[in-house]
Amino acid sequence: MASRYKGYAGKILDINLTSGVIGEYSFSDKDRERFLGGRFISTKILWDELVPGIDPLSPDNILVIMTSPLTGTGAPCSSRYDISAKSPLTGAIGHSNSGGNFGIFLKRTGWDGIVIRGKAETPVYIDIQEDDVQIKSADHLWGLNTKETREKLGKGSTLVIGPGGENLVKYAVVVCNERVHGRTGMGAVMGSKNIKGIVANGKKRIEIERPDKFRAGVKKWVKMLQNHPATGDLAPRLGTAQFVNILSRKNALPTRNFSRGTFEGAYNISGERLAKDYLVKNFGCPSCPIKCGRVVELDGKEIKGPEFEILCLMGSNLEIDDMDAIIRWNYELDLLGIDSITTGNTLGFASELNEKGMWDNGIEFGNKEAVSDAIQKIAYRKGIGDDLAEGVRFLSEKYGGKEFAAHSKGLEIAGYEPRAAVGHALGYATANRGACHLDGGYMIYFEVNGPMTLVPQHYRSKPSWTILDQNLLAAISAGGNCLFTAWTFVPNVAYKLPGMKIVSWIVSRILTYTWFLITLMLKIPKVLMKINLPVLPHSKFIKLATGMKMDFGLFMHAGERGYTLERLFNLREGIGKDKDTLCRRFTDEPLVPGKAKTKVPLNKMLPKYYKIRGWDKNGVPKAKTLKRLGLDFVDLSRLNL
């Protein structure tokens, strides 16, 4: 069923691996208007198609690969697309966004996305050559690492899994070129369906509604990104690793399984060190002028360099400051196809269990050999690897230590100390896919590591700021841009503030104590927000690409709608208020001994968060909220409450 909107290819593939039937999934333009693309369209499909309570690794789960209206249009950083399913790691909504070239290639085949059901009897790969779609044997590929698989699959763009996905490691990833769909175990869902890879190859044009205006706008947007300190200087020069030093200085760098926020060896694993001693060049996803990716040299070879998350979670969090070792692990984890954030977290937790005598596993803080050994064991589920492959929540239930298990809803916490930034902590606790910094709203950028910071422990101001960020980032992602394009929201002049201490202090207080204006903004009806913000031009570009009615109000409204549907998906699975939590290390133990303020006052923030979102005291969206968001097809009485 073609779409009347340009930007979209207008068709979604529907593949049943059990029966071998290949067809088209029917999706309406009304739903395109409501859910835009990527993770939101996927959530709508999963909401419509999945039976609650299914085993995520059974043939009953559905894997959705979905592009967005801007994917492949040439807008800045618009190669993004999502993979979604019920997560085997969390049991909640699972989704993972990435910027390899697969989304662009898929759209050029004439398909916006793929819905994959059932399970193949033997290993297969799916070959999409425009309308010629075939399920082919992958017997010769099973057992290969991700690089070998990509090389053997050949022409077109490929999405592949490694041994981690084949062995159903709960946090297995899906790899495309140098980019990885890391979180929530989408690689394990692929493995459970016996899919080793997917190839997309096509030459169809992606139509644009207003091509001249679109192209002229792209030039201006690229210029804005290049002239902005965050996207034109810091990210290309230092990559995401820029955050290591600053977070350590501000007591916000997870160290020794989140027991401290400062690491003595921070410089050795920092972006500055990487740039000085290892960097060969930076690289970017297609159509990205920012280019935050790193190519580094090690052992005489040029390979992909590490990003912030692995430097923190397999560096400071394990008390390891050996850059060579982390670069090797980064490369190895991609080959094996397992997520670096969850791996680092799991090994940190296992080290503490071992140290406390709760599980004799041989893993210790600072012990590099044990880490190298554990990575292999996880990917192949050998020995202790079988337990480690289940993640932190599982280990805490089996061996104890729930009070220092750094996860929410079963997803391990990213590389930012929650007690150092309570808005970020609220984001971790409420994020639909679990403790994810991006899904959670990435508040730490406004509380600690950005140039313009809110008072980090001022909890009253945070619910509204966190909701604003969650809705905005989710909308940007569903539209098809990289979230780093949101950095231009912070004016250039703010980057001069840290050197002007008094001005910086005053701006920080003004932003913090005027939080009620943010609450008010969240309540403004969309008809009063008929604007396009020059610093956040995403909504304007969706309109120019598709011809769809779109402005900033509708865009933010779509962000809130999609976010709420994800919440409803979780509620239907029985995941509600009692899972909006963090472990006691964060809520009861101060980060700075003796300073009570450096704990996360989650119980004080959550009621306000629910209220502003229009949810009841149990975190369930009210009927009038569903009506306002156009989600009144949801029957609240059928949720698993």
How many angstroms separate the CA atoms of 484 and 476, rounded? 10
Query: Which is nearer to ligand SF4, 235 or 606 (by Cβ)?
Result: 235
How many angstroms separate the CA atoms of 477 and 133, rounded? 28
Query: Which is nearer to ligand SF4, 325 or 333 (by Cβ)?
Result: 333
The residues that bridge with 158 in the sheet, in sequence order, are 199
Q: Are 565 and 43 in contact (CB under 8 A)?
A: yes
Q: Are 133 and 15 in contact (CB under 8 A)?
A: yes
Tell me whether residue 622 is exposed, middle or buried, using C-beta atoms within 10 angstroms of its C-beta: 0 to 12, 13 to 18, 19 or more: middle
Minimum CB separation from ligand SF4 for residue 83, in Å? 16
Minimum CB separation from ligand SF4 for residue 232, in Å? 11
Return the HEC string of 44-98.
HHHHHHCCCCCCCCCCCCCEEEECCCCCCCCCCCCCCEEEEEECCCCCCEEEEEE
How many angstroms separate the CA atoms of 428 and 424, rounded? 6
Minimum CB separation from ligand SF4 for residue 484, in Å? 4
Query: Which is nearer to ligand SF4, 230 or 522 (by Cβ)?
Result: 230
Structure tokens belonging to residue 258: 């989140």
Closest CA to 573 of 83, 86, 35: 86
Minimum CB separation from ligand SF4 for residue 397, in Å? 34
Query: Which is nearer to ligand SF4, 308 or 515 (by Cβ)?
Result: 308
Closest CA to 608 of 417, 485, 459, 499: 459
Closest CA to 193 of 260, 273, 121: 121
Minimum CB separation from ligand SF4 for residue 283, in Å? 7
Q: Are 239 and 292 in contact (CB under 8 A)?
A: yes
How many angstroms separate the CA atoms of 10 and 161, rounded? 28
Interface residues with ligand SF4 (CB under 6 A)?
77, 99, 284-285, 288, 290-293, 482, 484
Matching residue, tokens 């969706």: 542
Structure tokens belonging to residue 540: 């304007």
Minimum CB separation from ligand SF4 for residue 75, in Å? 11
Q: Is 590 helix (H, G, I), strand (E, B) or coil?
A: coil
Minimum CB separation from ligand SF4 for residue 239, in Å? 8
Minimum CB separation from ligand SF4 for residue 81, in Å? 12
Minimum CB separation from ligand SF4 for residue 173, in Å? 15
Minimum CB separation from ligand SF4 for residue 77, in Å? 4
Query: Which is nearer to ligand SF4, 165 or 293 (by Cβ)?
Result: 293
How many angstroms separate the CA atoms of 2 and 396, rounded? 49
